[in-house]
Amino acid sequence: MPARSVVFVPDGCYHVYNRGSEKRSIFQSDRDYKKFLHRTKENAQKFSITILCYCLMPNHFHFLLQQTSDLPITAFMNAVQLGHAKFFNTKYERIGPLYQSRFKAKPVISDEYLLQLSAYIHKNPIASLFDSRNPSDSRNLLDRLHAYPYSSYREYLGFESKPLSKPDTILAYFSQTQPKLSYQAFVENFIPDLEALTPLLAHE
């Protein structure tokens, strides 16, 4: 396997992503998600990783991470992924690779990219269904987004008392008093331009 072109450095922020082998599910129950998140929290503390935001979907996950020490993100991700693969394969009596490949990573190179990426990650649960032309459908989908339990978006909205993520870094760019200038308004009005975003998404 060739060496990564991405270099992980202290204080660097990175979009980290992986999906299931052949796009198969890597989470099949609520317990699967919760075990993954618990393992993520333990290893974030162990490897001094700040989780800026995250979203888990049935067959893939996204993290926006900040490396805050000399301990590399690769060590954190290997611990999280290998632990989950062992748990998942044992639970479902399967063998073989759980993930499509090693995790993909892309450095965050600007504030604009940081904010757009966070919105892209948080909107993942409804991204394929969102249609801003129909206000009724949009409202229903936003309700679903607010209720989605395997994302840091609820933590950003203040719905969780023990957040896994650290929202303050991104929330600092937005108004806390003017709803139209809030992070929530930014995310919920965000319509991803996938053609423009694709070169900026994790690719390794």
- In tens, the pLDDT along 97-130 reads 999 999 999 999 999 999 999 999 999 998 765 4
| 132 confidence band (pLDDT: 50, 70, 90) | very low
Q: Is the pLDDT of residue 180 over 90?
A: yes
> In Å, how far are 75, 98, 101, 139, 175 from 86, measured between CA atoms?
16, 9, 16, 39, 43
Prediction pTM value: 0.90
Annotation: CATH topology of 13-107: Alpha-Beta Plaits (3.30.70)
Domain with CATH 3.30.70.1290 in the chain: 13-107
Query: What is the rounded CA–CA span in Å between residue 168 and residue 170?
Result: 6
Alpha-helix runs per DSSP H in the chain? 30-46, 73-91, 111-122, 135-147, 153-156, 168-171, 183-188, 194-197
> In Å, how far are 32, 48, 59 from 21, measured between CA atoms?
17, 28, 9
The phi, psi pair for 105, rounded to 5°, reads -145, 145
Structure tokens at 72: 């590399």
CB atoms inside a 10 Å sphere around CB 177: 6
